[in-house]
A and B are shown apart, each in its own frame.
Chain A
Amino acid sequence: MKFLDIAIKDLYQIFKDWKTAIFLVAGPIIFTLMFGFMFGGFGSPDTTTDHRLPVWVSVGEDTPVTQSFLAYLENSSVIRMTPVDPARSIEELQQAVNDEEAAGVLLIPEGFTATLIEKAETHLEIILDENTTTGITVQQEIGTAANRLQTAARIARTSVQTYQTFDDKGDSNQLYHDAFMRALQAWEAPPVTAIETRTAPTGSQATSDENAFAHSLPGMMAQFTIAGLIGAAEIIIQERKSGALERLLGTAVPKFSILAGHWLAVFGMIFLQFIVLVSFGQIFLRLDFLAAPWATLILSIASCAYAASLGLLIGILAKMPEQSAIFTLIPMFIFSGLGGAWVPLEFLGEQVRQVARFTPVYWVMTGFKDILLRGTTLADIWPSLLALAGFFVLFFIPAVLIFYRKRT
Chain B
Amino acid sequence: MKSLTIALKDMGRSFRSYFALAFMFGVPILMTLMFAFLFGGIGGEEQAFTVPVTDVILVNQDEGSPHLPNLELDGQSYTSLGAMLVDLLGAEDFSELMRIRLAEEADARSAVNAQEAGVAVIIPPDFTNALIGQSEGQVAIEFYKDPELSLGPQLTQSIVMGIVDYFSSGTISLETVMTVLGEHGITLSQTELLELIQTLTRFSEFDQPESSALTIILPTGPEVEAEPASLVQNILRGVMGGMMIFYAFFTGTSTAQSILEEEENGTLARLFISPTDTRTILNGKFMAGFLIIIIQVNVLLFFANLVFRINWGPLLPLILFSIGLVALSGTFGIFIMSLVKGTKQAGVIYGGVLTFTGMLGISSVFTGGTPVESLFEVVPLIVPQGWAMNALKASWSGNLANTLLYTGGMLIWAVFFLAIGTARFKKRFA
Contacts and interface: CB of A to CB of B under 8 A. Distances in A.
Interface in A102-151: 102-103, 107, 121-136, 139-140, 142-144, 146-151
Contacts of B164: 190, 192
B186 A166 contact: yes
Interface string A72-104: 000000000000000000110011111111110
Contacts of A128: 216-219
Contact of A231 (B210, B347, B367): B347
Given A158-B200, A178-B180, A330-B27, A134 B399 contact: no
Contacts of B209: 147
A225 interface: no
Nearest to B139: A192
Contact of B112 (A149, A199, A369): A199
Contact of A131 (B23, B109, B230): B230
B184 A346 contact: no
B215 A126 contact: yes
Contacts of B220: 94, 98
A88 B372 CA distance: 23
A330 B30 contact: yes
A124 B214 CA distance: 5
A195 B211 contact: no
A281 B2 CA distance: 56
Interface string B180-201: 1101101010000000100110
A27 B348 CA distance: 13
Given A38-B376, A129-B369, A321-B350, A142 B140 contact: no
Contacts of B370: 38, 53, 100, 103, 132-134
Contacts of B372: 38, 100
Contact of A183 (B130, B167, B176, B186): B176
A191 B212 contact: no
Interface stretch (B68-76, B148-156, B266-274, B324-332): B148-156
Contacts of B222: 91
Contacts of A342: 366
B226 interface: no
A243 interface: no
Contacts of A228: 351
A192 B127 contact: yes
B352 A231 contact: yes
A155 interface: yes
B38 A352 contact: yes
A322 B373 contact: no
B139 A27 contact: no
Interface string B203-214: 000000111111
Contacts of B142: 194-197
A238 to B, nearest CB: 7
B350 A191 contact: no
Interface string A354-385: 00000000000000010001100000000000
A191 B221 contact: no
A37 interface: yes
Contacts of A326: 19, 22-23, 27
A53 B371 contact: yes
Interface stretch (B86-94, B297-305, B355-363): B355-363
A205 interface: yes
A265 to B, nearest CB: 14
A320 to B, nearest CB: 8
B368 A134 contact: yes
B16 interface: no
Contacts of A139: 214, 216
A175 B376 contact: no
B141 A179 contact: no
A23 B173 contact: no
Contact of A373 (B148, B221, B348): B148
Interface majority SS (helix, strand, loop, mixed), chain A: helix
A189 B180 contact: no
B113 interface: yes
A162 interface: yes
Contact of B148 (A96, A162, A330, A369): A369
B172 A187 contact: yes
Contacts of A129: 218-219, 228, 234, 369
Given A38-B367, A122-B212, A198 B147 contact: yes
Given A101-B371, A187-B172, A191-B168, A227 B351 contact: yes
B348 A19 contact: yes
Contacts of A121: 212-213
A329 interface: yes
Nearest to A153: B212
Interface string A217-238: 0000000000111110110001
B230 to A, nearest CB: 6
A193 interface: yes
Contacts of A329: 27, 355
A39 B169 CA distance: 34
A281 B253 CA distance: 34
Q: Which 5 A-B residue pairs are closest in the complex by CB-CB distance?
A: A230-B351, A234-B347, A97-B219, A23-B352, A98-B397
Given A19-B353, A27-B356, 10 more contacts: A98-B397, A100-B371, A128-B217, A133-B368, A144-B158, A155-B173, A187-B172, A191-B168, A238-B344, A346-B148
Interface of B: 19-20, 22-23, 27, 30-31, 34-35, 37-40, 49-50, 52-53, 109, 112-113, 118, 127, 130-131, 133, 135, 138-152, 157-158, 160-162, 164-165, 167-169, 171-173, 175-177, 179-181, 183-184, 186, 188, 196, 199-200, 209-222, 228-231, 234, 250, 254, 343-348, 350-353, 355-356, 359-360, 363, 366-373, 375-376, 379, 393-394, 397-399, 402
Interface of A: 17, 19-20, 23, 27, 30-31, 34-35, 37-38, 49, 51, 53-54, 90-91, 94-103, 107, 121-136, 139-140, 142-144, 146-151, 154-155, 158-159, 162-163, 166-167, 170, 175, 178-179, 182-183, 186-187, 189-200, 205, 210, 214-215, 227-231, 233-234, 238, 321-326, 328-330, 333-334, 337-338, 342-344, 346-352, 369, 373-374
10 contacts: A23-B351, A123-B212, A133-B370, A147-B165, A167-B186, A190-B164, A192-B127, A195-B141, A326-B27, A346-B151
